[in-house]
Amino acid sequence: TVAFLNDQWMALEEAKISPLDRGFLYGDGVYEVIPVHKGQPVALNAHVSRLTRGLSDIKLHVNKTSEEWRSLIIDVVTHNQRGDEPADYTAIYLHVSRGADTKRHHAFPQGITPTVFAFSFDIPPPPPKQRENVNCLQVGLSEDKRWKRCHIKSTSLLGNVLHYQAAAEQGLAETILYNEHRQVTEASSCNVFAVIAGIVVTPPLDLQLLPGITRLCVIQALKSAHIPVEERVLTVEELLRSDEVWLTSSTKEIAPVSQVDGHLIGDGRAGEYWERAINALDNVKFT
């Protein structure tokens, strides 16, 4: 794997940063995961806009235009191409931290250079498009114990990691999270959709969840396919009684869920709306 670190290309194993880097000491940074299908980044513009919004939210100035971020991501793809044919399914991890100071001090240091790091990794191919052939996820359910700025794709992921690990320790694939009003926010590394009486529902964007790029693409694809979709508050009770539940992310695409916290969803298999959604997503090209 070829990595990009501070304007240099190197083998991933050779990439080194200072232990005084604020990404290491404070989780002071933002990141992106961009899926790449057959050499083409998916929804590249949307990923770059979320990155630049995140950088501005954390007041981290990097001397790069959106065009330069896009070409950096494409360069990471190119540097990691093995042979003539592009790999089928990979993703780019792109990380920007505030950089290394000479001492540990909470306030932003002046005049330090941000650390920009990127590499490519393989992701699983998307699931088969027929609902009979797809494996469903079993997931847990827990009150969201993270912070109140979940719209920022922050590298401070301890809250997410602890929720994810709690699921892993029970042999589950994810944890769906809800707030103090028992309203679903998202999952520890995915967004959440439910199908209720023929309408696809997903929680509205606010500070409680990440504006997922896959979420955005799925909403657009559903609209293009004339499948009803609503961004609205979704309670835990509605979720548990819904006909279908899906998780979406750049690495999972749309993953159907068969059980939430031991409750069977629908008939425990991928549903009709899931199959329509995954095909609708395939028919729209996101640049």
Which residues does the annotation mark as catalytic? 153
Q: Give yes or no for residue 155 binding ligand PDD (CB under 6 A).
A: no
Q: Give yes or no for residue 213 binding ligand PDD (CB under 6 A).
A: yes
Closest distance to ligand PDD from the beta carbon of 189 (Å): 4
Point out which span in 163-171, 222-230, 242-250, 256-264 binds ligand PDD (CB under 6 A).
242-250
Q: Give yes or no for residue 160 binding ligand PDD (CB under 6 A).
A: yes
Q: Are strands 115-122 and 253-260 parallel, antiparallel or unpaired?
A: unpaired
Q: What is the rounded CA–CA span in Å between residue 56 and residue 76?
A: 23
Instruction: Indicate the residue among 138 and 189 with the shorter CB distance to ligand PDD.
Output: 189
Q: Give yes or no for residue 177 binding ligand PDD (CB under 6 A).
A: no
Q: Find where tokens 């027929």 sit.
A: 130
Q: Beta strands of 156-204 (E only): which ranges?
A: 175-178, 184-187, 191-196, 199-202
Q: Give yes or no for residue 250 binding ligand PDD (CB under 6 A).
A: yes
Which residues are registered as beta bridge partners of 230?
201
- Collapsing DSSP to helix, strand or coil, 123 comes out as coil
Q: Give yes or no for residue 126 binding ligand PDD (CB under 6 A).
A: no
Q: Give yes or no for residue 96 binding ligand PDD (CB under 6 A).
A: no
CA dihedral 119, 120, 122, 126 (to 10 degrees): 120
Q: Are strands 184-187 and 191-196 parallel, antiparallel or unpaired?
A: unpaired
Q: What is the rounded CA–CA span in Å between residue 116 and residue 73?
A: 12
Q: Choose, by CB under 6 A, the member of 48, 248, 260, 274 that binds ligand PDD.
A: 248
Instruction: Indicate the residue among 242 and 248 with the shorter CB distance to ligand PDD.
Output: 248
Point out which span in 11-19, 208-216, 268-276, 279-287 binds ligand PDD (CB under 6 A).
208-216
Question: Any residues with CB less than 8 A from the CB of 24 and at least 6 apart, and which?
Answer: 17, 18, 97
Q: Give yes or no for residue 97 binding ligand PDD (CB under 6 A).
A: no
Mask 188-207, x = binds ligand PDD (CB under 6 A)?
Answer: -xxx----------------
Q: Give yes or no for residue 212 binding ligand PDD (CB under 6 A).
A: yes
Q: Beta strands of 103-252 (E only): which ranges?
A: 115-122, 137-143, 175-178, 184-187, 191-196, 199-202, 229-231, 244-249
Instruction: Indicate the residue among 22 and 215 with the shorter CB distance to ligand PDD.
Output: 215
Instruction: Indicate the residue among 190 and 265 with the shorter CB distance to ligand PDD.
Output: 190
Instruction: Indicate the residue among 217 and 265 with the shorter CB distance to ligand PDD.
Output: 217
Q: What is the rounded CA–CA span in Å between residue 52 and residue 136?
A: 34
Q: Give yes or no for residue 34 binding ligand PDD (CB under 6 A).
A: no
Point out which span in 80-88, 187-195, 236-244, 277-285 binds ligand PDD (CB under 6 A).
187-195
HSE toward the beta carbon, residue 266, CA cutoff 13 A: 21
Residues that bind ligand PDD (CB under 6 A): 33, 160, 186, 189-191, 210, 212-215, 248-251
